Amino acid sequence: MKKKSLIENFFTIYGNRNNQPVLFFSPGRVNLIGEHTDYNGGFVFPCALNFGTYLAIRKTDDNKLKFHTINFDRNETIDVSSSYISSEKKWVNYPLGVVNEFARNNIRITGLEFLFSGDVPNNAGLSSSASIEMVTAVALNDLFKSGLPLIDLVKMSQRAENKFVGMNCGIMDQFAVGFGKEDHAIFLNCDTLIYEYVPLKLKDHSLIIANTNKKRGLTDSKYNERVAECKKAVELLQPYKKISNLSELNSSEIDLLNKYIEDPVVIRRARHIISENGRTKEAVRVLRKNNIQQFGELMNQSHDSLKNDYEVTGFELDTLVYEARKQPGVAGTRMTGAGFGGCTVSIVEKKYSESFIKKLGKAYSEITGLVADFYLPEIGDGARKMG
Ligand code: GLA
């Protein structure tokens, strides 16, 4: 959304044209490899996108928090308080959960008018939720001069999602959205939070995101089920091996799973985490050497593991991935984000990009009866105040 029309919309909704709102932006993210590893203390490799959530915000003196979103044309008003409870209107819990985090940190938030407008497709695995949380966190930090470091805003946003929204997500999304850097992906160790920016030089290849447009239901509960299964694996292994998370095991220790765990489902879940960590480290190594083909091959393996071992893909995502692999010039393709629907990410030779989109779109529609959307994103910077 253009700055001018966001401000115009703000005045239409809230009036008082003499008092300008302040504008903030926070991107969405795409994860290139390292899926479902974050809440297991593992490695991820996401990057921030050039589309995301815009927020126009203004202080008031009426002790009310007024939320409005252009995308759904919804609004909600909540009294300022020293602590908040989740709203029945789910969309409000993303920013309200962050306001609550500031309150928990004894930062007094007074009356505010919020207007959100986003161009990250919702519920598509591109972190529209983290984008809303982080744009709120960065804005509150700025308006109330709280001086919190970015990493605290990231952790508060993750906590808001865990406690307020009820999704037990890891830290990847909020981190990527907060720390994103133009033309770079972030190699993050989710245990230590040590990270490195890796230049994303794809040369004659482009990144293509394809949205299944499958309506995702029960994603949060299926996601939380995976979190619980991994926790279970750790508990079952602990009598034999001193670990606090699955990422402390390396590929040579995969045999321990069969030895000490009986449930084949729990074995498969843990196997994905261990193999995905290995692939993610290897993917970063080969990318640094500009080996796009090898990077793509690891993306393919990642998808297959998410399908067979972690079971978070589904018919629509698998169709997009396996039809994509039949197209010329495709280095690699996989689902991205939580799964169960949402998007795939592919690396495709530039000269084939157009035909890839056309042919894959056609095949996908014929097989599933759904229409996929395609995006050719640029890799952008993290959450920030707009000039
Ligand atoms: C969602 C969560 C992240 C991460 C991914 C899967 O996006 O919010 O924390 O677990 O799924 O990698």
Per residue in 56-94, pLDDT (tens digit) is 999 999 999 999 999 888 899 999 999 999 998 889 999
Amino acid at 121: P
Supply the pLDDT for residue 221.
Answer: 87
Which is nearest to 288 in space by CA: 186, 200, 188, 193?
200
Convert the pLDDT of each residue in 359-372 to its tens digit.
Answer: 999 999 999 999 99
Is residue 101 a contact partner of residue 159, using CB atoms and an 8 Å limit?
Answer: yes
Supply the pLDDT for residue 86.
Answer: 93
Q: Is the pLDDT of residue 10 over 70?
A: yes
> pTM to 2 decimals?
0.97
User: Which of 38, 61, 142, 173 does the annotation list as catalytic?
Assistant: 173
Supply the pLDDT for residue 218.
Answer: 67
- Cα separation, 54 vs 24, whole angstroms: 6
Is residue 130 a contact partner of residue 173, using CB atoms and an 8 Å limit?
Answer: yes
Atom index in ligand 1 nearest the CA of residue 167 equals 8
173 is catalytic: yes
Supply the pLDDT for residue 2.
Answer: 74
Instruction: Point out the least confidently predicted range of 26-30, 215-219, 232-236, 264-268.
Output: 215-219
Instruction: Return the best residue to mutate from 30, 36, 122, 305 for the ligand 1 pocket (most ligand atoms within 8 A of CB).
Output: 36
Average pLDDT over residues 129-137: 97
Average pLDDT over residues 300-323: 98
Cα-to-centroid distance, 278 and ligand 1 (Å) = 18
Average pLDDT over residues 142-149: 98
Across the beta sheet with 64-69, the strand order is 74-79, 64-69, 112-118, 46-59, 22-31, 384-385
Work out the mean pLDDT of the chain and round it to a whole number.
96
Convert the pLDDT of each residue in 203-230 to its tens digit.
Answer: 899 999 999 999 877 678 899 999 999 9
The confidence band for 1, taking pLDDT boundaries of 50, 70 and 90, is: low
Average pLDDT over residues 166-179: 96
Residue 329, classified by CB atoms within 10 Å of its CB into exposed (0-12), middle (13-18) or buried (19+), is middle
Annotated domain spans of the chain: 3-199
Cα-to-centroid distance, 157 and ligand 1 (Å) = 13
Q: Is the pLDDT of residue 293 over 80?
A: yes
Fold of domain 3-199:
Ribosomal Protein S5; domain 2 (3.30.230)
Share of the chain above pLDDT 90, in %: 92
Supply the pLDDT for residue 217.
Answer: 73
